[in-house]
Structure 1
Amino acid sequence: MGVATLLNLEDLNVHYGAIWALKGVNLTVGEGEIVSLIGANGAGKSTTLRAISGVVKASSGGISFQGEDITKVPAHDIVKKGIAQVPEGRRVFANLSVLENLELGAYIRRDTRGIKRDLDDVLDRFPRLKERIGQVAGTLSGGEQQMLAIGRALMTRPKLMLLDEPSMGLAPLLVKEIFSIIREINEEGTTILLVEQNARMALQVASRAYVLETGRIVLDGLAKELAMNEDVKKAYLGG
């Protein structure tokens, strides 16, 4: 492939009690790529991201990042290694201001100058957040909260960003805007693993994609080829 592997999941299994949520998942993300993970609700997409970020534990199999085994590394240490997750449903701190939310994104960092520079960059990228810098996050619109969640993740200076359903609950115009932001972030050097129900958008923005069904990867390949695949069209692209 010619691209250095940043993230590698090997035969990953996750159980929630008696429920076998991920069944032998193999997946790689190369440096600089956008890789999409598509599938129906309950297929295990969010579980995959949570396992990578250390929020749920793997029952067996391995996760490596930049060649290092991170399968048993606690979630807060995974952030320090350069993996940031933008969770499903945004999960901004509703009672804190926009600025406080962004500052919390940088809690593991000590480079005051760099933090200030990144904060300026985030506010330049999201002018609406700049306008609402002192506003309580809970009063922002859904789209603004999504921008804040992405901005907060950017404040960790991630090498890999895990995006969980960024378009959920947003109006079509805002979805377009969020996806062009995702593209920009990637072009500036952040690798992205994207979980998204809007399969059409997910396949447009990604270079490669995986299809997950009931905890198993059933298809993978170049995003544009999967977008032409009859089974994928039927199941996820409405025809």
Structure 2
Amino acid sequence: MFEIRDLKVSFGGIQALKGISLEVREGEIVTLIGANGAGKTTTLRTASGLEKPLEGSVFLDGKEITKTSARDRVKAGLIHVPEGRRVFPQLTVMENLDLGAFQRRDRAGIAADLKMVFERFPVLADRKTQLAGTLSGGEQQMLAMGRGLMARPKVLLLDEPSMGLAPLFVQEIFDIIVKIRETGTTILLVEQNANMALRIANRAYVMETGKIVLSGEASELLASEDVKHAYLGG
């Protein structure tokens, strides 16, 4: 479904990714965990076309998309919800959601997806005329995810969706991620809250300094003593 092969990325002579490979099968949640600076965000930014690799390949549905633009990757169904939410603060909730569907022309489908987003995030329906910048952090994260869903993703790249949120919102965001997967969307999740991420994921990869150092079933990594001590506070 979605695959990265031997991806290498450098910034100013510093190698951020040192030949990483990973795979996300259709209908899975796969999580990428690791310390700050391990290269997780760079992996997602390169996958979505925001950074250019020195070497390596990115595949979606068996088709190589390494040299396609970020816009064309969105059109193909690869949607990136970035770290820090990145909503448009001076636009309303509704205008932000409309921007998620800016490349679509299927009005009936857009209307159906908007209804689905409002059902999944009722707070957005209540605040659709409110400026996005006036929402709480948790509400902005819901808006960023809703905006991503308006693009009708095949694969959703989620970067640190729980960052900076109150515990109540964190649980709600993870519950929503599971529901998104249950409706058929494949998810690659980057998340500092490794414990929560491993609990909802099918499989996981562990990154250190630009390399994948461990991978396997999420339940196995959750039970691993090495992973507990390094990432789960065990």
- 1: CA distance, partners of 2:66 / 2:53: 7
3-state DSSP of counterpart to 2:83: coil
Offset of 1:61 from its aligned partner?
A: 1.1
Q: Calculate percent identity across the aligned residue pairs.
A: 64
- 2: CA distance, partners of 1:231 / 1:161: 29
- 1: CA distance, partners of 2:88 / 2:217: 37
Aligned equivalent of 2:93, options 82, 98, 123: 98
2:10 alignment counterpart: 15
Aligned equivalent of 1:76, options 66, 71, 77: 71
2:84 alignment counterpart: 89
1:38 alignment counterpart: 33
Q: Does residue 210 of structure 1 match 2:205?
A: yes
Amino acid at match of 2:166: A
TM superposition score normalised by structure 2: 0.99
Aligned equivalent of 1:146, options 133, 137, 141: 141
- 2: CA distance, partners of 1:7 / 1:126: 27
- 2: CA distance, partners of 1:32 / 1:117: 21
Deviations 1:129-155 (A, max 9, x none): 000000000000000000000000000
Amino acid at match of 2:73: I
TM superposition score normalised by structure 1: 0.97
RMSD: 0.5
Amino acid at match of 1:135: Q
Unpaired runs of at least 5, structure 1: 1-5
Offset of 1:113 from its aligned partner?
A: 1.0
3-state DSSP of counterpart to 2:85: coil
Offset of 1:74 from its aligned partner?
A: 0.8
Aligned equivalent of 2:189, options 180, 187, 194: 194
Q: How does 1:43-192 map to 2 (within 5 A)?
A: 43-192=38-187
- 2: CA distance, partners of 1:107 / 1:165: 24
Offset of 1:228 from its aligned partner?
A: 1.1
Deviations 1:93-151 (A, max 9, x none): 00000000000000000001111111111011111000000000000000000000000
3-state DSSP of counterpart to 1:11: strand
Unpaired runs of at least 5, structure 2: none
Deviations 1:3-57 (A, max 9, x none): xxx1111111011121100011010000000000000001000000001100001
Q: How many residues align?
A: 234
